[in-house]
Structure 1
Amino acid sequence: MEDGLNVSVRFVLYLDLTLLAGLPLIGIVGFHRYAHQVATAIRLRGLLIALAGIGLALSLCHMVMLAMVMSGASEITELGRHVFSMIITTTDAGIAWAVRMVALMLIVLLALYGRVRSAVQLKCGAALGFVSLATVAWSGHGAMHEGALRYLHFTADIVHLIAAAGWIGALVTFSLLLRPSQLASSAQLRLLHQGLAGFAWIGTIIVLALVVTGVANYCLIAGVQLSGLLSTQYGLLLLGKLGLFVLMLSLAAANRYHLTPMLERGMATGQASVALPGLRRSLVIETGAAILILAAIAWLGTLDPSQGLTPQLP
């Protein structure tokens, strides 16, 4: 029961922080000078406030769970202020948690009192989102190492998380732009096409980053070997995650080389609506696969990779 709750909190927190970083990121790099239009279309201000608020609440829950594990307490009432003070001031995970809380509160303030449609405010929001998401690395398997290897693993984890945020942020942004209410004019269709076409080169960089850092993370955890992948829970989850990644890659390729050109041709002939149902279906499936991958990551983070996957660290 406790393990299930831990995985659930981690999963929702990962999804929340991924969107918090990814939504402003895709507006900046995928739409360039049209970023403010996208921010308005997807109601980014409200999304940032909601996501940051949820992130704060989930982070508090996660800290309580961490405190119970580290103190050995069986009830929340057994936790004293000194336990939280010790974790936040003397452990890397606690310091990372405190940094995340500050970043999330700054996002709320930025969204409430700033102009998230401006390029500077969007960049600030994205930067704070990156910081909050990067802190997740300190609750992962990177903490199993010491010295330089520890920070190499953290770096790989952070790059992996940011690349994933870019991809998932793009999927959610395109899905929101594909709502019928957002496609009432040719200008809105051009905005959608601009994002889909602009994501082509960004997607290539994201895929390369995910592959390189994914391989690096596996090698840092299990070494250069494949034993145990089919005989352990950790290995099977890892293979499931890889299968979902391949599915996402296939759908992204179909979007890039078939559906986006179809939309462009339809816009030229006044029949853009022909391509829209296919795009919606593809994005729904791809987003669903991404959510399942985040669930797998949350689960993997609670498992001991040494059980069946013997580390062979350099």
Structure 2
Amino acid sequence: MSDWASIALRFGVYMDLMLLFGVALFGLYSLKGRERVSGAVLPFRSIVAGTAALGVLVSVASMVMMASAMSGELDLAELRPHIEMMVVETDVGRAWVVRIIVLVFGGLAMMLNQRAPGFSLLVAAIAGGIALASLAWSGHGAMDEGVRRFWHFSTDILHLLAAGAWLGALVAFAWMARRDTLQTEESIKLLARTVTGFESVGALTVVVIAVTGVVNYLFIVGPKFDVLLLSTYGKLLIIKVMLFAGMLVLAALNRFHLGPRLERSLREGKYRMAANALRRSVLIELSTAFLIVGLVAWLGTLSPEIEIAPL
């Protein structure tokens, strides 16, 4: 399988599990009571159950691809013993098994959404968090040992969870800000409330992403910066940091300008322009997040070593 196919599959796994965790978590901290029922505000059954099912499929594809890359086999029948060996005898295989199990539980939890919406989202968020954390065993931290391995895994997992929480919130805001949704004052009030209420969670996710990102860089590369300009890994990392900085600017704009502007416009009865401005900002921020996840998928296939041109 080509490098680009590998990157695309990694992107699909990351995006899917982040959405499962982040959207379910958003329903817990931003919505109340019957707002958590699928369809009342967000289509939780479609998003959560859909990402859980898709997560199983892309995880199976990822395991097949990994076994093929390590064994050199392309025929599925020949690959079977290699897959069984990886699942049973390796840490990444055991993490994969845990991921599959919790994804099934997360998807089934949506069957309880109508009767116990809060509980169903709690189960889905926990399942999504565990599934997302399992990706750390496929990252650079798997190369470490002992105490260093523990701390590298810890920062990787925190980084993934914080990124998933942010991405899930952006998808939720984008859904709530759709043009055909913002037709009533109640829907706009709900959007304004959730955007304003995201302040604490958003600040926490930004701090966690920034701190764990720096720590992960030190674990992978060390306290040196020549790699940033002399390798593909470093150049992509610089682009990722610049996009993240752009997301911070947009997030601050949403929280401190567009959100309060929407609340003021509600009181004045003229909220269309403010709602449209917030929608555009959220969509730009979400598009930037997709690019960052794509870069993360690419970075996971690269070595941070400096590339020396041949003489």
Provide, for residues 33-91 of structure 1, a one-character-per-residue CA deviation record: whole Å limited to 9, x for no partner.
575168632111111121111111111110101111222324434213x2222111111
Of residues 105-114 and 145-154 in structure 1, the stretch that sits farther from structure 2 once superposed is 105-114
Distance 1:32 1:149 in 2: 41
Say if 1:278 and 1:191 are closer, same or farther in 2 by CA, change over 3 A.
Answer: same
Aligned equivalent of 1:188 = 187
Distance 2:113 2:273 in 1: 39
CA apart distance, 1:180: 2.8
What amino acid is aligned across from residue 205 of structure 1 in structure 2?
L
**2:26 aligned with 1:26:** yes
What amino acid is aligned across from residue 126 of structure 1 in structure 2?
A
Aligned equivalent of 2:165 = 166
CA apart distance, 1:124: 1.1
Residue segments in structure 1 that go unaligned for 5+ positions in a row: 310-314
Distance 2:101 2:245 in 1: 36
Distance 2:234 2:60 in 1: 31
Q: Is the 8 A contact 1:31 1:194 kept in 2?
A: no
Q: Is the 8 A contact 1:27 1:38 kept in 2?
A: no
Provide, for residues 117-167 of structure 1, a one-character-per-residue CA deviation record: whole Å limited to 9, x for no partner.
622221111101101111111101011101111111111011011111111
Q: Is the 8 A contact 2:19 2:168 kept in 1?
A: yes
**% identity of equivalent residues:** 39
Distance 1:40 1:4 in 2: 39
Aligned equivalent of 2:72 = 72
CA apart distance, 1:182: 2.3
**2:294 aligned with 1:291:** no
CA apart distance, 1:115: 3.7
What amino acid is aligned across from residue 58 of structure 1 in structure 2?
V
Of residues 2-11 and 174-183 in structure 1, the stretch that sits farther from structure 2 once superposed is 174-183
Distance 1:3 1:88 in 2: 23
Distance 1:114 1:184 in 2: 26
Say if 1:39 and 1:23 are closer, same or farther in 2 by CA, change over 3 A.
Answer: farther
**2:139 aligned with 1:107:** no
Q: Is the 8 A contact 2:30 2:194 kept in 1?
A: yes
Of residues 237-246 and 184-193 in structure 1, the stretch that sits farther from structure 2 once superposed is 184-193
2:198 alignment partner, SS class: helix
Distance 1:53 1:210 in 2: 27
What amino acid is aligned across from residue 70 of structure 1 in structure 2?
M
Q: Is the 8 A contact 2:110 2:121 kept in 1?
A: no
**Cα RMSD between the aligned structures?**
1.8
Aligned equivalent of 1:212 = 211
2:230 alignment partner, SS class: coil
Say if 1:240 and 1:34 are closer, same or farther in 2 by CA, change over 3 A.
Answer: farther
Q: Is the 8 A contact 2:231 2:304 kept in 1?
A: no
Of residues 150-159 and 183-192 in structure 1, the stretch that sits farther from structure 2 once superposed is 183-192
Matches within 5 A, 1:294-313: 294-308=293-307
Aligned equivalent of 1:246 = 245
**2:268 aligned with 1:274:** no
Q: Is the 8 A contact 1:20 1:51 kept in 2?
A: yes
What amino acid is aligned across from residue 273 of structure 1 in structure 2?
R
Say if 1:69 and 1:249 are closer, same or farther in 2 by CA, change over 3 A.
Answer: same
Q: Is the 8 A contact 2:7 2:297 kept in 1?
A: yes
1:41 alignment partner, SS class: coil
Q: TM-score, normalised by structure 2?
A: 0.94
Say if 1:113 and 1:258 are closer, same or farther in 2 by CA, change over 3 A.
Answer: closer
What amino acid is aligned across from residue 224 of structure 2 in structure 1?
Q
Distance 2:42 2:14 in 1: 21
Aligned equivalent of 2:15 = 15
Distance 2:144 2:106 in 1: 32
Distance 2:18 2:285 in 1: 15
Say if 1:275 and 1:307 are closer, same or farther in 2 by CA, change over 3 A.
Answer: same
What amino acid is aligned across from residue 42 of structure 1 in structure 2?
L
Aligned equivalent of 2:63 = 63
Aligned equivalent of 1:98 = 97
Of residues 185-194 and 143-152 in structure 1, the stretch that sits farther from structure 2 once superposed is 185-194
Aligned equivalent of 1:312 = none
